[in-house]
Structure 1
Amino acid sequence: MPAIQMALSRNYPNPKLLRNLMCYLHRSKSSLRLWEEDVNTEIKLKIEKHWSNVVLNQPSNNFKKKTHYILPMFPYPSGNLHMGHVRVYSISDTLARFQQLNGKNCIHPIGWDAFGLPAENAAIERNIPPHTWTETNINSMKTQLQQLGFNFNWEREISTCDPSYYKWTQFIFLKLFEKGLAYQSKEQVNWDPVDKTVLADEQVDDLGCSWRSGAKVEKKYLTQWFIKTTKFAKDLFDGLDSEELENWKDIINLQKHWIGECDGVSVTFKLSVNNQVKTFDVWTSEPYKFIHGNFLTMSPRHPLIHELKCHMSNSLTCHNPVTNRDLPIYITDDAIYPIGKDVSIACSIFDTDDNNTAVSLNIPVSNEQYEINVDGENQKAINIAINKNVGGHFVSSKLKDWLISRQRYWGTPIPIVHCEKCGVVPVPYEELPVQLPKSDSHKSGIQTLDKIDEWVNCKCPKCQSNARRETDTMDTFVDSSWYYYRFLDPANQEMPFSVENVRNQMPVDIYIGGKEHAVLHLYYARFMSYFFNSLGWTPKKEPFKKLVVQGMVMGQSYKLKTSGKYVPPEQVEKVGNEYKEISTGELVLTQWEKMSKSKYNGENPERLLSTYGCDTTRLLILADVPPATPRRWSDATLPGVLNWQHRLWMTIREFLKHRNNNVAHSITSEEFNKYERKIWESRNYFIATTTYHYKYTQKLSVGISRLQSLTSVLRNKIPPEVVAKSKEFERALSDLIIMLAPVTPHFCSELWAGFLLAPNRICDSQNIIDWSKTVLEQKWPKVDDDFELSFLCKVDGADRCELKIKARDLSNLSHEKALQIMLNEDSVKKRLKTDIHRTKFELYPDCRAILHIFPKKKQKVAQVDEGVA
């Protein structure tokens, strides 16, 4: 840290105040004045060093502005950034800077998903404690993120392995426990014999092997902790149809497929054996059976049967809480079970299949006959279950509750005490956090909490007798299921967050991350937000408004055709249209795959930073393809980006040259005005289209291509006199630099500073631009009121009419007025063969408008085939 910043930090301990003061001090930085030299990597690195404090200390906490929450998924601290990190944080930083230029108070936080198996295994391999390994990696990755110029709100930084964070994860667990949503149950689980822990189904591949160790997974019956996410399944399913969700696209289908059609109801039954009371859930798509059912069937594979060691021929009796009557359970595989279930409630009086099951198993049934109102009895059963708090919630048969137990050391301790007298006892809130004990026994192999007697042995919070702490830790998905709320209130010492501090800042405006997290993590995060809403902690259920799904960064790999062995690219040569291994001449196959060290197709961001600089790296990762598309990484794309930066540098150089020299009159005023008009039209068009893709589609690559096009306009044989005297050229060039600044903040800061060296800036006198501020503090350019924007009409999905409407009129266009205008157009009227079924109007102020018209479908007339005589 520079000496001045260290001195300031002593007098200004408030990080927000210090940040703003530092920005003020650095705002007056001037150009490096290297314009006579051709831009190269050395100059770019000088620029980045020169402007780094301005770029990293851009003020963002003006609470008079409207809040805009940009959230990238926080990283696991592995020690080094990979290209996937570079991509996701380049996207989020660009969008955050764009929103700030649009006058928003942008929240752009970062933290660390720091618990979990990979960190613990890595620490064991190195004979160091997991917390030491994790802290070292966090420091390393934080430095790399800052080298890339990402303007995160570091004052909001959190780490899930910090007791000040997981205290509140434990607090939330206790709230779930209070509401009956966290419970312990014996279940058949996936056991990794190498990593010695339970794995979720999705952590096991199609071959039945562990995602981490590669070991063949074993099936075991273990008592585990679960969170009853199924209770919110119907709400979570229906919530996916909310109009508040923007740009979720196929993620909605992925989420719905995971949750499943919530076409049945679950109720918790009780069973007493040998003075033990056990509970189990019964699901049926016909809730009336909870009232009129006369027996249950249960598979011998049911965990309860395994636990009680019941023989298949034995029958059990359970208590039905809906009717307060006992029902017999028959243990058999010869019954029809719902998908994903191994218990079923039967009603032999009204269900033919159930009656057939009873006959085949010699189950005595009543011959009593009576009629019921099925719909009425279904609702009655549901109401009874809900009122008695024993279930009644709609859920699919295949969806399981969330198994959160992990039998490893490096995770959030579950705040539960087991007492022989009192049973399962929650740790009192005032005793949180239950901290992980420090231990060096990891050096001898895998560490588990049950081996640390001084930590496990404790007193029961209720009766003060000897007891034992829960030794399972929580799955890291629990830590990451609510972090986006803590970012908004990281200093709160009374609650995980306060209602007041999140009320006007949620939902997250844009959530950015990989598609691989679009099912589980997103499901758990949505569940937790719905749970908070049920407690009255949050004003809305859905936590994320818009998703930007990031495609993987792919590298080209090479492997031998005969053995499939991967070989490094430097050992491969191209011979004609084929690739061959240099040493053997053996044929090599090439393909694009997810980057991996084992496939020799990775890219080290450090190489790019030292070779090209961070702005070029950011520009490279964002150009060419939109965020959702997989990015094929290759140095072959570098020339285009490097050439564009060179052209921008040359444009500023020539602008300064012509503004500083007396340029002779070489064109007529009429020709001058034609250039002015052309530049005016181009500037407005590219502002509109760039804004549209930055703000609405988040297709940053398309927005960048529009800026490249504007650059070409400004360099396409523009006479020196126009460069020297044109207001439109000056304004287009300044707007171009402003719009590129979110992507390449250091480079554009230098371009802007160079721009300020020019005398007689025409825009000065018109108050169009505040030249006293840095480029990162300017206002995002807007189209002129008189510029005509696109108003498109689609009929049944096909483009039918495009009109041009002045920007001032477009912004005030209503749905009703838009429909009226288009219905008067012949191209639309000709397409409408039937009445209108519905319409949809999309207005993007200062960009464009789209009217969708969906006609009613024609009724097909049935044709009678009279046959042939």
Structure 2
Amino acid sequence: MSFIKRIRLGNCAASLPISSLSNRKLSSLGLWQQDICTEIKVKIEKHWSRTVLNNINKDSDKAYYILPMFPYPSGNLHMGHVRVYSISDTIARFHALNGEDVIHPIGWDAFGLPAENAAIERNIAPHKWTNANINSMKQQLLQLGLNFDWSREISTCEPQYYKWTQYIFLKLFEKGMVYQSKAKVNWDPVDKTVLADEQVDDSGHSWRSGAKVESKILTQWFIKTTKYAKKLYDGLNSEYLENWKDIINLQKHWIGECDGIVVSFTMKVGNKVKQFDVWTHEPYRFIHGKFLTMSKNNIIIQEIPIEDTGHLLCYNPITNTELPIYITDEVNYPIGRDVYIASPATNQDDLKLAKSLNISVSKSDKVIDFESDNHKVISIANNKNVGGYFVNSKLKDWLISRQRYWGTPIPIIHCDNCGAVPVPYTELPVKLPCIEFSEYGSQTLTKLNDWVNCKCPKCHSDAKRETDTMDTFVDSSWYYYRFLDPQNEIKPFDKEKLCNKVPVNIYIGGKEHAVLHLYYARFMSYFLHSLGWTPTEEPFKKLLVQGMVMGQSYKLKSSGKYLPPESVEKIGKEYKEKKSGEPVIVQWEKMSKSKYNGENPERLLSKYGCDTTRLLILADVPPATNRNWSDATLPGVLNWQHRLWITIRDFLNYRNNTSLENNLSDEEFMKLESKIWESKNYFIATSTYHFKHTQKLSVGISRLQGLTNTLRNNLPCELISKSQEFEKALACLIIMLAPVMPHFCSELWAGFLSAPNRKSATTNNVINWNKNVFEQKWPKVDDSYKLSFLCKVDGADRCDLKIRATELDNLSQEQALRMMLNQESVSNRIKNEISRTKYELYPGCRAILHIFTKKQQKKPKNETKELAANIQAN
């Protein structure tokens, strides 16, 4: 039964039988005459979930690798997870629409102290707790419509993964890059494990347990990352790196300027030979040095009886001689070091030091060639493998020992006869023993005798396994390569699987990981490249560092005690605790249960649906900026979805209304179409620029809001009914929004395809009527559209030309410079000689020419004009 319903649309009214609207493709729910609401959104998400989660990408040479940092499986997603994975999924879908074969994997950083402690609290084994959390979080990620390639899924706690972590450890051991040594460490007395310096707060308390950290001397395992310090420092200027911005400075600050070298000396203490490093920024000292000084706090010195410290000798491998060691703290040791090599013959301060220590120094008239001796020292040290590499005095090697159960076992066996013996490759993985929780009382492997006791692989005598496990940073230092070959049972990964896929095109994660994790991952990539395993040294091309999601917290001004929001009221401009009336401080802080300022993603998903949740987290604020979370953004987002919904409703109604009269003249029609064409191209260019090049997704999204406004700007119904440009613009809008709201846009697209009287041809990469929205091509500007060509002189905008897209996309740097120097607004601003230029071409979006001048050299105007003329002539 059909009936007539009158619908007010824009500035027109149309009468049409609703039954005619039900004649649509099966893929659409056909609910256009209902107002959009959460119930309909949930139906849409359920209806389109299979399409949205269908990974259609293939493993080809056109791969584009997008990698978000994999999560620790805590059991529930938090808003930081929602943000990072919404960002990566949006970028992945964008690149898929651009015809690239996207690799977008996911896995689990599953080992570590938090999981172990949580398992202890719940009286279950860590592997059971971890696997349950993985299953729970996987369902939540699927619920968000995140299109990960689950065929590449890895978990660091599975033997088929950590077997290869152990394999890489043994390769490091073979190359002399792993050693065991005593070290002064931060010891957490509650969690009973070593902590990195970064895991201790300013007041000396543990980041996790809150206990006061103790200083202990323990025998620990180290990876010699300092050997690669100079390469890692210099690599930060690599052509591979894009958009690293301030992360380069963070990395350089952590590594430090590599202004000195290290040489390993040895000394005999009792029946043992001790090895220690000597650092200096003047390598020639290793030839001309006459004695060493050590601080009383040096670990080796603390092990020696005080009566034996007066006649210590060490072996200098550069000169093959013995040097005396003097114990004193009256020396300005290099920062981070407690050993100093003195050269009285070349340094007056060292001569004074020798006199203060009553050391006789013989004079030498020999002329010293410092530069030659520097090179000689480095050459000898490298040839003997006793150092010779450049490093900052403060940088230390990577301490990887952890005294807990839940981690990758270190594949070393300790034998009284043979010392530290590597586990044979054929016996990998060294699996964690499966234990019941009731047996797991010590929280370490030391008391599991059946597992610890073994035979030495060399002499077959009784021996013991290493009971320390590896720092979880080791697991995550190479996972980005395993994702490309996750099923390999012969080796960690095949180099052929990496070709044309690395470095990772875009690496996405929190800024809190931009120092240590990034440093360790870069080191591991450089080491694996040195083995010939990888095609490049740098693992990541472009970084997208996301800011934190912040919540509004409330705490008493008097005590700093945090309060739940419901116990606080606002009186005038001040906040008070309801119960006591005490003043309350309101501020934005990192979300935390203890601060009562968290947001549960489950609430948002159930109340608004996953597409709205994704749009909420992506809109308004660029990814790199902290996100102050509140529901204040909701009205704008919900209103936009409503406007998109009724835009399709309008489109369908008018395309179905064959009796609609045309009251527009041809001139008016063409003028309106021209405005839509101009607007469509502008928003395609600017949205593409931000989605592809700046990754400021919020700005790209705001441009799509602008295109929505164009299509909702009281356009005549006759235009909507018949305009090809309106149709193209609407198609472009839906396609460009699909990466952000995949389910919602799938339904919008299905409705769009069901409209009769379609005008658009399948040209200019806009519409393919036989495919869903994810099989379309990302829109491109029309060839004749004029794009922005901006010129900056010494950082200031000076000229913005409009150039046809086809011409701009083919404009060379030389042509661009000539064109801009012909503009008075540019040439008149060039007062000094041009020192360099930088040309940034973003095809289909814009171009920017940077001109930099030599500010220190003042040249007459005629010389500047002559320079410009010469450049133009050439």
Decide which moves more: 578-587 or 727-736.
Answer: 578-587
Q: Distance in 2 between matches of 1:486 and 1:573?
A: 52
- In the alignment, which residue of structure 2 is the partner of 1:729? 726
Offset, 1:585: 2.3
Instruction: Report the counterpart of residue 93 of structure 1 in structure 2.
Output: 89
Q: Which runs of 5+ in 2 are unaligned?
A: 1-23, 860-874
- Once the 2 structures are TM-superposed, how far is the Cα of residue 369 of structure 1 from its aligned partner? 2.9
- Matched with 1:668 is 665
Out of 109, 129, 138, the residue aligned to residue 133 of structure 1 is 129
Question: For residues 139-158 of structure 1, what are the structure 2 equivalents within 5 Å?
Answer: 139-158=135-154
Give SS of 2:268's match. Answer: strand
Of 629, 638, 644, the residue aligned with 1:642 is 638
**AA in 2 matched with 1:439:** I
Partner of 1:202: 198
Structure 1 residues 735 and 170: alpha-carbon distance in aligned structure 2, compared to 1, 3 A threshold: same
Measured in 1, the distance between the counterparts of 2:585 and 2:332 equals 50
- What do the CA deviations read for 1:816-845 (whole angstroms, capped 9, x no partner)? 000010011001110011121110000000
Q: Does 1:390 align with 2:391?
A: no
AA at the equivalent of 1:335: V
| Partner-residue secondary structure (3-state), 1:383 | helix
CA contact (8 A) 2:186 2:214 kept: yes
Residue 684 of structure 1 pairs with residue 690 of structure 2: no
Query: Which residue in 1 is equivalent to 2:814?
Result: 816
CA contact (8 A) 1:552 1:631 kept: yes
Residue 444 of structure 1, CA deviation? 6.0
1:442-464 CA distances to partner (integer Å, 9 max, x unpaired)?
66644110110000000000011
Residues 576-606 of structure 1: CA deviation (Å, up to 9, x unaligned): 1112222222222210000000110000000
Question: What are the ranges of 5 or more consecutive residues in structure 1 without an aligned counterpart?
Answer: 1-26, 862-869
Find the counterpart in structure 2 of residue 785 from structure 1. Answer: 783
* Pairing 1:712–2:709 present: yes
Partner of 2:317: 321
Counterpart of 2:190 in structure 1: which amino acid?
V
CA shift digits 1:495-520 (9 cap, x unpaired): 11111111211000000000000000
**Aligned counterpart in structure 2 of residue 585 of structure 1, from 576, 581, 584:** 581
Report matched runs for 1:605-624 at 5 Å. Answer: 605-624=601-620
SS at match of 2:852: strand
Give the drift of 1:275: 2.5
User: Counterpart of 1:234 in 2: which secondary structure?
Assistant: helix
1:345 counterpart SS class = strand
For residue 278 of structure 2, give the secondary structure of its aligned residue in structure 1: strand
Match of residue 8 from structure 2: none
Q: Within 2, Cα distance between the matches of 1:274 and 1:820? A: 76
Query: What is residue 551 of structure 1 aligned with on the other side?
Result: 547
Out of 81-90 and 583-592, give the one that drifted further: 583-592
Deviates further, 467-476 or 242-251: 242-251
Is the contact between residue 186 and residue 307 of structure 1 (CA under 8 Å) also seen in structure 2?
A: no
Distance in 1, Cα, partners of 2:796 & 2:625: 25
Determine the C-alpha separation between the residues in 1 that align with 2:153 and 2:648.
38
Given the alignment, which residue of 354, 359, 371 partners 2:355?
359
Structure 1 pair 627–446 and aligned structure 2 pair: CA distance change class (3 A): farther
- SS of residue in 1 equivalent to 2:446: helix
Q: Distance in 1 between matches of 2:247 and 2:438?
A: 40
Amino acid at match of 1:789: L
Shift of 1:307: 3.0
Looking at structure 1, the residues matched to 74 and 745 of structure 2 have their Cα atoms a distance apart, in angstroms, of 32
- Which secondary structure state, in structure 1, belongs to the residue aligned with residue 851 of structure 2? strand
Q: Secondary structure at the match of 2:105?
A: coil
Partner of 1:256: 252
Give the distance between the partners of 1:159 and 1:486, measured in 2 at CA. Answer: 11
Flag the 1:311–1:336 CA change in 2: closer, same or farther, 3 A: farther
SS in 1 for 2:164: helix
Contact preservation (8 Å) 1:129, 1:442: no
The CA distance in 2 between the partners of 1:846 and 1:441, in whole Å, is: 61
Kept in 2, the 8 Å contact 1:315–1:331? The answer is no
Task: Summarize the alignment of residues 63-142 of structure 1 with structure 2, pairs less than 5 Å apart.
Answer: 63=60, 66-142=62-138
- Corresponding letter in the other structure for 2:105: P
Cα separation, partners in 2 of 1:56 and 1:757, compared to 1, 3 Å: same
Deviations 1:533-581 (A, max 9, x none): 1111111111000000000000001112222111111122222111222
After superposition, what is the alpha-carbon deviation per residue over 1:400-419, rounded to whole angstroms, capped at 9, x for unaligned? Answer: 00000000000000000000
* Aligned 1:534-545 pairs, distance under 5 A: 534-545=530-541
1:312 and 1:263, CA in 2 relative to 1: closer, same or farther beyond 3 A?
A: farther
Three-state SS of the structure 2 residue aligned to 1:681 is helix
Name the structure 1 match of 2:283. Answer: 287
How far apart, in 2, do the equivalents of 1:308 and 1:440 lie?
Answer: 43
In 2, Cα distance between the equivalents of 1:731 and 1:784? 11
Q: Does the CA-based 8 Å contact 2:124-2:437 persist in structure 1?
A: no
Q: CA deviation at 1:778?
A: 0.6
Q: In 1, Cα distance between the equivalents of 2:25 and 2:743?
A: 15
- The 8 Å contact of residues 552 and 589 in structure 2, kept in 1 or not, is answered as yes
Q: Is the 8 A contact 2:55 2:148 kept in 1?
A: no
Q: Contact 1:189 / 1:221 at 8 angstroms: preserved in 2?
A: yes
8 Å contact from structure 2 (residues 832, 857) kept in 1: no
Match in the other structure for 2:471:
475
* 1:32 and 2:29 correspond: yes
SS in 1 for 2:816: helix
Total equivalences in the alignment: 834
Corresponding residue of 1:464: 460
Residues 294 and 347 in structure 1, CA contact (< 8 A), matched pair in contact too? yes
Instruction: Give the distance between the partners of 2:329 and 2:187, measured in 1 at CA.
Output: 25
Among 626, 631, 634, which residue is 2:622 paired with? Answer: 626
Determine the C-alpha separation between the residues in 2 that align with 1:311 and 1:754.
90
Which of residues 695, 699, 706 in structure 2 aligns to 1:698? 695
1:600 aligned to 590, 596, 599, which one? Answer: 596
Query: Sequence identity, in percent?
Result: 72
1:408-423 mapped onto 2 (5 Å cutoff): 408-423=404-419
In the other structure, the counterpart of 1:299 is 295
Q: Report the 3-state secondary structure (helix = DSSP H, G, I; strand = E; otherwise coil) of the residue aligned with 2:760.
A: helix
Letter in 2 for 1:447: Q
Instruction: Using the TM superposition, give the Cα deviation of residue 360 of structure 1 relative to its aligned residue in structure 2, in angstroms.
Output: 0.7
Q: 1:815 corresponds to which letter in structure 2? A: Q
Q: Given that residues 245 and 546 in structure 1 are in contact (C-alpha distance below 8 angstroms), is that contact kept between their aligned partners in structure 2? A: yes
Judging changes above 3 Å, is the alpha-carbon distance between structure 1 residues 340 and 445 closer, same or farther for their aligned structure 2 residues?
Answer: same
Q: Distance in 2 between matches of 1:494 and 1:286?
A: 46
Q: Deviations over 1:720-779 (max 9, x none)?
A: 011000000000000000000000000000000011110021114658411111101110
Rounded Cα–Cα distance in structure 2 between residues aligned with 1:299 and 1:363: 17
Amino acid at match of 2:615: L
The equivalent of 1:191 in structure 2 is: 187
Partner in structure 1 of residue 13 of structure 2: none
Matched with 1:452 is: 448
**Structure 1 position 661, deviation (Å):** 0.1
Q: CA deviation at 1:272?
A: 1.6
Aligned residue in 2 for 1:47: 44
Distance 1:562 1:89, change over 3 A: same
Give the CA deviation at 1:370: 1.9
* Deviates further, 584-593 or 39-48: 584-593
Residues in 1 aligned to 2:651 and 2:439: alpha-carbon distance in whole angstroms: 65
Deviations 1:176-217 (A, max 9, x none): 000000100011111111111111111111111111111111
1:655 to 627, 651, 670: 651
SS in 1 for 2:692: helix
Alignment partner of 1:406 is 2:402: yes
Q: Normalised by the size of structure 2, how large is the TM-score?
A: 0.94
Distance in 1 separating the partners of 2:852 and 2:489: 54
Contact between 1:441 and 1:447, CA under 8 Å: does it hold in 2? no
* 3-state SS of 2:828 partner: helix
Could you say which residue in structure 2 is the equivalent of 1:842? 840
1:683-725 Cα distance to aligned partner (Å, 9 max, x none): 0000000000000000000000000000000000110011000
* TM-score, with structure 1 as normaliser: 0.95
Equivalent residue runs for 1:765-776 within 5 Å: 768-776=766-774
